[in-house]
Structure 1
Amino acid sequence: MTLYKLCVFVPATHAEAVKQALFDAGVGRVGDYDHCAFELVGQGQFRPLPGSQPFLGSTGRVERVTEHRIELVCDQRYLGAALRALVAAHPYQEPAVDLWPLLDYRQFL
């Protein structure tokens, strides 16, 4: 089984909806637990360029917004469905998503 760490930045107003969409897609399972996530609140910034359709802000102006960094573990077999669910639930035109393959720490014990 190949696991990935999925990290997404989402405005506070949509954090719960994005998490739920990911959980429904099979993300956030660790052993005998589900709905596992780490969440951190911070400030994001961006500037919409011409041709963009921003959820927040306006073209050419830097926008700062309270965002949640949400990290979850995802089994590779759920990855496609998870990313489709994330994009459907996320309000931004271009969600910021990080994805890393993980090693199973137990193999080193």
Structure 2
Amino acid sequence: MYSLVFYVPETHLEEVKVAVFLAGAGSIGDYDQCCWQVKGEGQFRPNLNANPFLGEVGALEKVEEYRVEMVLKDDVKAEVTRALLSAHPYEEVAYHFIQIQSQ
């Protein structure tokens, strides 16, 4: 199993969560659409090659974002990744997987 962690602006939080849930993430036993989320502030500065969803090239941007965490099984990892990247508004999506053990 894996724990997926990603960061998403509040404006797209529910849309992205639904996409990864439909791809198979967030199921624990007899429960689905399970996740943990917390609001925080992200920052980034687009370089000259960027086409930013938010902010301007060369300018530091700070935005309210959510950190979302959920588990998924190995066999849906590729589909969950595709769903996340497809639904997320950012050109470069900040996310990572952590391999975990399950009972």
TM bucket, shorter chain: over 0.9
Q: Return the alpha-carbon distance in structure 2 between the equivalents of residues 57 and 86 of structure 1.
A: 21
Alignment-derived partner of residue 36 in structure 2: 38
SS at match of 1:48: coil
Task: List 4+ stretches of structure 1 deviating above 4 A.
Answer: none
Correspondences of 1:4-83 after superposition (within 5 Å): 4-83=2-81
User: TM-score by structure 1 length?
Assistant: 0.93
Alignment-derived partner of residue 97 in structure 1: 95
Q: What percent identity do the matched residue pairs reach?
A: 44
Alpha-carbon shift at residue 10 of structure 1 (Å): 0.3
SS at match of 2:91: coil
Structure 2: gaps of 5 or more residues: none
Q: Return the alpha-carbon distance in structure 1 between the equivalents of residues 64 and 50 of structure 2.
A: 20
SS at match of 2:20: helix
**Structure whose CA Rg is larger:** 1
Q: Return the alpha-carbon distance in structure 2 between the equivalents of residues 53 and 59 of structure 1.
A: 8
SS at match of 2:53: coil
Q: Return the alpha-carbon distance in structure 2 between the equivalents of residues 90 and 18 of structure 1.
A: 6
How big is each residue's C-alpha offset from its partner over 1:9-57, in whole Å with a ceiling of 9 and x where there is no partner? 0000000000000010010000110000001000000000011000000
Q: Aligned residues, how many?
A: 103
Structure 1: gaps of 5 or more residues: none
Q: Return the alpha-carbon distance in structure 1 between the equivalents of residues 66 and 86 of structure 2.
A: 17
How big is each residue's C-alpha offset from its partner over 1:53-108, in whole Å with a ceiling of 9 and x where there is no partner? 0000000000000000000001110000000000000000001001100012x3xx
